[in-house]
């Protein structure tokens, strides 16, 4: 069974369903490394500071937001962690649409959702059956890797317990 990539909840109405998110696909791509053609040694990327005209280590690298005029505003990890993400541990349903309203080509990588334990199974199945019977999909707002994103909940097949 695949490992969990996210644990959270789907709140809808007065109910909150604890869920686990599992990856639905695997990447089978072949990855190549850059090598020097003469001796097949690995080629590494180096980080260069333009202001000091010298190589810097990874530990010396931070983040910054570049303004249109070229100035860079430094942003620390602490500042990013302090940002309030309302969807940090919840998948917020923002709209219910007919299943035909979304082009499947627009859907990105897929994930399976499953209830966390026996207590969550009943409200999870209520949501699942409601979407399935009405032939609807749910547009969802969630946080993933520190960014809020838009997603889609849909019932995969009538025999599957996954959304």
| Backbone torsions φ then ψ of 72, nearest 5 degrees | -115, 125
> Who wins on pLDDT, 101 or 69?
69
- Residues carrying CATH 2.40.290.10, the chain: 4-26+85-153
> Is there a contact between 144 and 95 (Cβ–Cβ < 8 Å)?
no
Q: Are strands 92-98 and 136-144 parallel, antiparallel or unpaired?
A: antiparallel
Q: How do residues 130-149 score in pLDDT, each as one tens digit?
A: 899 999 999 988 887 777 88
Q: 71-75, 84-88, 94-98, 111-115: which range is least confident on average?
A: 84-88
Rounded-to-integer distance, Cα 29 and Cα 109, Å: 15
Q: 19-23, 60-64, 86-90: which range is least confident on average?
A: 86-90
Q: Which CATH fold would you assign to the domain 4-26+85-153?
A: Ku70; Chain: A; Domain 2 (2.40.290)
Band of the pLDDT at 84, cuts 50, 70, 90? Answer: confident
| Backbone torsions φ then ψ of 93, nearest 5 degrees | -80, 125
């Amino acid at each position: 069974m695949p490992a969990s990539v996210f644990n959270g909840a789907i709140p809808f109405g007065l109910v909150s369903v604890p869920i686990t998110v599992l990856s639905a696909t695997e990447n089978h791509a072949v990855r190549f490394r850059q090598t020097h053609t003469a001796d097949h040694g690995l080629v590494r990327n180096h980080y260069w500071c333009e202001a000091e005209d010298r190589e810097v280590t990874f530990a010396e690298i931070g983040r910054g937001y570049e303004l249109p005029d070229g100035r860079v505003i430094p942003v620390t990890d602490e500042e990013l962690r302090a940002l309030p993400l309302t969807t940090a541990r919840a998948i917020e349903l923002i709209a219910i649409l007919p299943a035909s309203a979304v082009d499947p080509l627009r859907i990105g990588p897929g994930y399976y959702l499953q209830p966390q334990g026996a207590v969550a199974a009943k409200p999870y199945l209520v949501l699942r059956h409601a979407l399935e019977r009405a032939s609807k999909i749910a547009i969802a707002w969630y946080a993933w890797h520190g960014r809020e994103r838009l997603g889609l909940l849909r019932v995969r097949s009538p025999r599957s317990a996954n959304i």
